[in-house]
């Protein structure tokens, strides 16, 4: 059995997060990467249940709004992060356990976790989550193989720390779910006629602007309903409505063909996710060693080294001239 504190780092990638959610036993949702947060970007992804934001962690950063510590915590699932490297899983689990959309099926593991720990305080919820063998195993199954062991005493450069948080609407208000805080951050009410994504957009943009223009220290992903499931439902509704209302057959057929193409695209995308995950976890070291041995036997290593050295010197000379 793995120790409770042994959690790996997870890459900010929609395929990784989608596969992670599946390993939790959750159905009906997937994760999509957002390349921009401009108006209309979410139109083809609705319903959007929450946003996962990765950013460069800045110590002593003050919360932008009030932290909830009152009895609202009895209805909001918020778990305080009590161990390192768990923020990716905590962010997505927090979104899932606060989502009441009919598309989302939590599955037995997360349902049991919520029922068991909902009456706990945030720290106890964090301890419960971190001690779940199923969730920890799913999380660690996303890790890349470690090919070499490094002595931490030899590492002198201080590396940047990155952190995952979630944003989502809960009971008519927008909340920021950051496991390093003592509670969810309340960003205020969402009016009945308002789209919650319009409320969260300026908050995220303001956070992004805290970094220098030449730095990229953030990534945004959306937790959305399973796209294939949504398209299949639309086909069913089109077929049913066209029979009742006698809609134009050609228009219906064209729309169904378009939706079928989108379904095929989703199937291809999920297959690609599986392949990329397998490649991330594959150990390429034996192949590299064998290739180097063959190159050495054929006396091709030194010429390759000389060519690489020559290219590096040319590149350095161009930098000096510039």
Active site residues: 87, 163
Question: What 3-state class would DSSP assign to 176?
Answer: strand
Closest CA to 75 of 160, 194, 173: 173
Strands of the sheet containing 173-177, edge to edge, are 29-34, 218-225, 48-56, 162-170, 173-177, 185-189
| 97 and 177 Cβ atoms separated by less than 8 Å | no
User: Phi/psi of residue 118, each to 5°?
Assistant: -60, -30
Whether the bond into 146 is cis, omega within 30 of 0: no
Q: What are the DSSP calls for 94-156, one per residue?
A: HHHHT---TT-B-HHHHHHHHHHHTTS-HHHHHHHHHT-HHHHHHHHTTPPP--S---GGG--
| 122 and 79 Cβ atoms separated by less than 8 Å | yes
Residue 265 to residue 283: CA distance in whole angstroms:
29
- Token pair recorded at residue 310: 């020559």
User: Phi/psi of residue 306, each to 5°?
Assistant: -65, -40
Residue 89, classified by CB atoms within 10 Å of its CB into exposed (0-12), middle (13-18) or buried (19+), is buried
């Amino acid at each position: 059995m793995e120790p409770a504190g042994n959690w790996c780092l997870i890459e900010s990638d929609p395929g990784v997060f989608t596969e992670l959610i599946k390993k939790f036993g959750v159905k009906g949702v997937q994760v999509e990467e957002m390349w921009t947060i401009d108006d209309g970007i979410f139109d083809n992804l609705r319903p959007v249940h929450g946003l996962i934001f990765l950013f460069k962690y800045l110590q002593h950063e003050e919360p932008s709004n009030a932290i909830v510590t009152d009895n609202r915590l009895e209805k909001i699932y918020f778990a305080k992060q009590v161990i390192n490297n768990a923020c990716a899983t905590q962010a997505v689990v927090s979104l899932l356990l606060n989502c009441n959309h009919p598309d989302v099926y939590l599955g037995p593991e997360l349902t049991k976790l919520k029922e068991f720990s909902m009456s706990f305080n945030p720290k106890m919820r964090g301890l419960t989550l971190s001690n779940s063998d199923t969730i920890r195993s799913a999380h660690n199954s996303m890790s890349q193989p470690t090919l070499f062991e490094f002595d931490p005493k030899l590492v002198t450069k201080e590396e940047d720390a990155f952190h995952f948080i979630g944003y989502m609407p809960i009971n008519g208000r927008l909340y920021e779910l950051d496991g390093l805080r003592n509670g969810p951050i309340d960003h205020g009410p969402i009016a009945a006629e308002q789209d919650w994504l319009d409320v969260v957009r300026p908050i995220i943009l303001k956070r992004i602007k805290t970094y220098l223009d030449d730095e990229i220290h953030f990534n945004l992903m959306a937790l959305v309903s399973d796209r294939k499931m949504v398209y299949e439902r639309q086909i069913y509704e089109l077929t049913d409505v066209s029979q009742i209302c006698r809609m134009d057959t050609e228009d219906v057929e064209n729309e169904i063909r378009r939706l079928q193409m989108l379904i095929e695209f989703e199937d291809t995308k999920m297959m690609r996710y599986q392949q990329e995950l397998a490649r991330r976890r594959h150990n390429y070291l034996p192949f590299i060693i064998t290739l180097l041995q063959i190159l050495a036997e054929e006396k091709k290593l030194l010429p390759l080294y000389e060519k690489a050295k020559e290219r590096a010197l040319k590149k350095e000379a161009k930098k000096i001239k510039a």
